[in-house]
Structures are given as C-alpha cells and as structure tokens.
Homo-oligomer: A and B are copies of this chain.
C-alpha cells in the first residue's frame, strides 16, 4: 500500500514536473518565435524605412475618412454611403504615388462610366415592361460582365487598366441591378461616385503630401544601381579572378553577388514603369518622361548580367589556369574589365544625376574595344609556349569571349542612354563639388568612391 502510494506520489510529482517542462518548452519556443518575428520586423523596417511611414499614412487616411461617421453634419449628407469612402481609401492607397494615382483614377473613371451605362441599362430595361425587365437586366449584366472580363486579357490593357475594368463590371452590375429595387438610382449613383471621389482624394492627397514615394524615382535609381552592380562585379572580377588565374583559381565566396538581383529584376522594372507613367511632374521628372527608354536600358543591363552569370561560373568552377597562359591574358583582360567597369560607372553616374553622358564614357569604351582587339591579336600571334595544352586555353578563351560580349553590350547601353538623355532633358555635364559629395554619399560600396573621383577628374577637363 505504502509503496503504491509513494509510487503514485512520485508519479504525480513526475507529471507535474513534466507538465512544467512542457510549459517551459512551449514558453521558450513562443519566446523564440516572438523574437524571430521581432527581428524580421526590424529588418524589414530598416531595409526601407518608407514602409513604416507608409503604414502610418494608411492608418491616418482611414481614420481621417472615418471622421465622416463621427460628425453629424458630415454624416447627414451621405449616410451609410460614407462607407464607400473608407473602402476606397483602403483599396486605393498603395505604396507609391503612381500606383495610388493609377488605382484612384481607374476607380473614379470606371465608376463614372459604369454608373452612366448602368443607368442606361436600367432605363432600357424598364421600357420593355415589368415582365421582361429582369430578363433584359440579367442579359445586359451577363454581356457586359463577359465582354469586359475578356478585355482584361489584352496584355497592354491589363497592365494599365485592369483595376478599372474590374470596378467597371462591379459598378455596372450594382447600379443596373439595384435599380430594379430602388427608384432612386440617380441618387445612389451620385452618392457612390461622390464618396468614392472623397475617399480617392483623401488617399491621393495623404499619399502625395506626406513623404511621397515616387515610383519614377525608384525606377530611375533601380536602373542606375543595376548598372552600378554590374560595374562593381566587373571591377572585382578584373582584380580577383585575373590575379588568381596567374596562380590558381580561388573560390571566393565574398565576391559581389549583387548582379544576381539584376537577372530577376524584369518584373519589378515593368511594374515600376507602369506606376511611373501615372505620376505628374515631380523633381527632375516631367509628366511624359521617357520610361520606355529606361526599360530598354534595363533589358540591356540584364543581357549583360546573363553574361556575367556565365563569367561567375568560371570563378566557382574548379578549372586551374596555368600561370604561363593566365599571366599573358591577365594584363589585357584586367584593362578590359576595368575600362568597361569605368564606362558603366560613368553611364550609371550620368543616369543617376541626370546629366548628359560625358565623352569620357566613350573613351573608356573605346579603350575597352582596343583592348579587345589586342586580345584578339594576341591570340592570333600564337605567342604561346609549345607545351601549352589546348584544354588549358578553354576557360581562358571562354572568359575572353564573354568579356568581348560584355564590351559590346556596354556600348549598346551607352548608346541607349545617349538616346535617352535629350528625351529626358538631362542637364549639361557640369559637376560641382556639392554634387560630387552627394554622389559619394549615395554610393554604399566603399571602393567605388575612389573610382568615381578618378572618373570625375578625368572627365572634368573635357
């Protein structure tokens, strides 16, 4: 008996301690999870503090529109319809001004048009008599719904007016169908339109006035920074790979991998361009800024990035390049990459500051092209030792060929930026000390600074 009792007691103590352990474990796990989320949140905010500002702006916009409900004088005018204003703010308020304007205008215009058409459909339906009214209404809703849904598949229309078409179907159905029950269609349409206008206006005003995020600015600096990323890679490649190739290929994991984000930037660039097209004149950007040309520059940059991805393969592959060959090509390739990198940085700098590309970019490209010719003629003279194995040449030849491709690509980029410059009203190239300081601050990569200063020094006498 006693033993059994003692056993029970120990069992009970065991269970309690086990339960304690379990709770402790759970609490620890929970704590760990909370800390993880907190650190992720912090990182998200630090990456782009505009996200926090945006969140506050949205909260502010909704609260300010909800004032309609609290003040009697405002509420009496609209009644329950005031909720459309809140809905509009929530649905229309986007991160960038362009996106918000695009959604707001789409929503407003679509509501206006669909309201008018819905009212027309209602009038048409009533003229058919009470019996056929629902049939005509149903048919018109079906037809408009199906046709407009199909129109949403057109790629160009989808890119700019998708939301408008959705709201068109919505409003048309609501107005024409509600009309069957209420006689005050006009008043209903008017209330819906005016509350949407109020909500849209509130969203747009708060979005533009408080720390606006311009999609155009983002797009502009994305294109420039992509160019810079490629330039940085080439610079490092010239100094690292070609140093290594004289002895042995070292797999350097700290190699700048920034170019990888360039490869997948197409979708981001296209959506930013679409938003930017909605934006009015701001800063250096006019209303009809040539965003299409920016997309061209972006596409060429991506083509360059594909080649760089292939180059990167030679950094991580295990092929060893013998010293005798490596050293010969090293010098030329080093010059080629450094000249290409300088040219790309010049072009990126011109883009960033919106100044006419200086002729020093051209001279860098010209130098790179000359080096490419040197490389070709070096390969032609076959000044190789007889013991050279052809297999050893393969990676060197492939790298050389890729570099030649990249030089050609850089030339195309420079040409496109030259076409862009007058269209985008770039300033004449006069670099003041203040601008230079600003640029230096914009560069996050420490090593780039020196190069910019060298570049500026070279370009100033021209």
A residues near B, CB below 8 A?
A: 40-41, 44-45, 51-52, 54-56, 58-63, 66-67, 69-70, 75, 80, 83, 86-87, 90-91, 134, 137-138, 141-147, 149-150, 153-154, 166, 169-170, 173-174, 177-178, 180-181, 263-264, 266-267, 306-307, 309-310, 313, 376, 379-380, 382, 384, 389-391, 393-395, 397-398, 400-402, 405
Q: Which of A87, A173, A267 has the most CB of B within 10 A?
A: A173
Q: Which of A137, A145, A173 has the most CB of B within 10 A?
A: A145
> Is A154 in contact with B40, judged by CB distance below 8 angstroms?
yes
Q: Which of A146, A263, A380 has the most CB of B within 10 A?
A: A146
In the complex, what's the smallest C-beta–C-beta distance from A378 to chain B, in angstroms? 8
> Is A145 in contact with B75, judged by CB distance below 8 angstroms?
no
The 3 closest A-B pairs by CB, nearest first: A59-B146, A59-B145, A397-B397
A-B contact pairs, 26 of them (CB 8 A): A41-B150, A44-B153, A55-B147, A58-B146, A58-B149, A59-B142, A59-B146, A59-B149, A63-B138, A66-B137, A66-B173, A70-B137, A75-B181, A90-B145, A90-B169, A266-B267, A267-B267, A306-B309, A306-B310, A307-B310, A310-B310, A310-B402, A310-B405, A384-B390, A390-B397, A398-B398
Chain B residues within an 8 Å CB radius of A173: 62, 66, 86, 90
Given the contacts A306-B309, A309-B306, A398-B398, A390 and B393 also touching, CB distance less than 8 Å: yes
Chain B residues within an 8 Å CB radius of A395: 401
Given the contacts A55-B150, A87-B170, A150-B51, A66 and B177 also touching, CB distance less than 8 Å: yes
In the complex, what's the smallest C-beta–C-beta distance from A321 to chain B, in angstroms? 13
> Is B62 in contact with A169, judged by CB distance below 8 angstroms?
yes
Chain B residues within an 8 Å CB radius of A41: 150
> Is A170 in contact with B379, judged by CB distance below 8 angstroms?
no
Q: How far is the CA of A87 from the CA of B175 in the complex (A)?
A: 12
* Set B56, B86, B143, B170: member contacting A146, Cβ < 8 A: B56
Oligomer: number of copies: 2
Residue of B nearest to A400 (CB): B394
Residue of B nearest to A146 (CB): B59
Q: How far is the CA of A241 from the CA of B306 in the complex (A)?
A: 21
> Is A70 in contact with B138, judged by CB distance below 8 angstroms?
yes
Chain B residues within an 8 Å CB radius of A379: 389-391, 393-394
* Set B166, B267, B402: member contacting A91, Cβ < 8 A: B166
> Is B397 in contact with A142, judged by CB distance below 8 angstroms?
no
Given the contacts A63-B141, A177-B69, A178-B69, A146 and B398 also touching, CB distance less than 8 Å: no
Chain B residues within an 8 Å CB radius of A391: 376, 379-380
Q: A306-B310, A379-B391, A390-B397 are in contact. List 13 more A-B contacts (CB 8 A).
A: A41-B150, A58-B145, A60-B142, A62-B142, A67-B138, A80-B178, A86-B174, A91-B166, A264-B266, A310-B310, A376-B391, A394-B397, A397-B401
